[in-house]
Amino acid sequence: MNLSRVVRAEFHCHSVYSPDSLVRVEDLLAACEQKNIDKLAITDHNRIEGALRAHALDPQRVIVGEEIQTTQGEILGYFMREEIPAGLEPLEVIRRLKDQGAFISVAHPFDPNRDATHWQLGTLEAMLPFLDAFETFNARCLRQTYNDQAQIFAQEHGLAGMAGSDAHSIFELGRATMLLADFNNAMELRTALENAQWDVHLSSAAVHLYSVWAKIVKKVHKPAL
């Protein structure tokens, strides 16, 4: 890890490989150049194909990640090699992530507006020994109170907090980033988070309309990947 170099990292974004985004990976990488984002975790829903493609194009910048839908909420994996399917029990997802040496976090844990299923407090507590971090700021949360709940939970249980834009469009990219020492693997990220600084802003509720539009477009025709 290069302690002398500070990078700006975006830890949560989506590409056209997610069902609710139309953003090509090439456009994500170009936007990173414009917005001075040094590290980009592409966390498509239940897929890593787009992240792998982006990593091949820009391996120094891109972190291969996935936002995995469990039988309850969603888990974020970083520095992944193998895709994990949706619909598994949370501890099974964690086991598979551990097997590939991934960094493990939980996406927008207290936001009730995301999925038909939500995290149960007992499940989150059972997961604690295996988590590296908790997403304590998500720019797409409709209310800051959901992020505040996550922050309190993380602090009470000694978990590192992470921020992410959850960007599904170029406009959203970089709304919530972290400034921290340069890192290149899961172990280095764990260390870098200890002294990270945040640059975070909630997105407008209107950004969710973009995701609805993306789903409609994909029903009409298949966009270019």
Does this model's pTM top 0.85? My answer is yes
Each residue's pLDDT tens digit, 105-125? 999 999 998 766 689 999 999
DSSP annotation string for 110-125: T-TTS-SS---HHHHH
Over the stretch 30-67, which tens digit does the pLDDT of each residue have?
999 999 999 999 999 999 999 999 999 999 999 999 99
- On whether the CB atoms of residues 78 and 105 are closer than 8 A, the answer is yes
Closest C-alpha to 103, from 127, 125, 75, 124: 75
Residues contacting residue 26 through CB under 8 Å, at least 6 positions apart:
57
pLDDT band at 1 (very low <50, low <70, confident <90, very high): low
CATH class of the structural domain 11-86+99-220:
alpha beta
Q: Which residues pair with 177 in a beta bridge?
A: 199
Q: Are 92 and 74 in contact (CB under 8 A)?
A: no
Domain-wise residue ranges, the chain? 11-86+99-220
How far is it, in rounded angstroms, from Cα 11 to Cα 222?
27
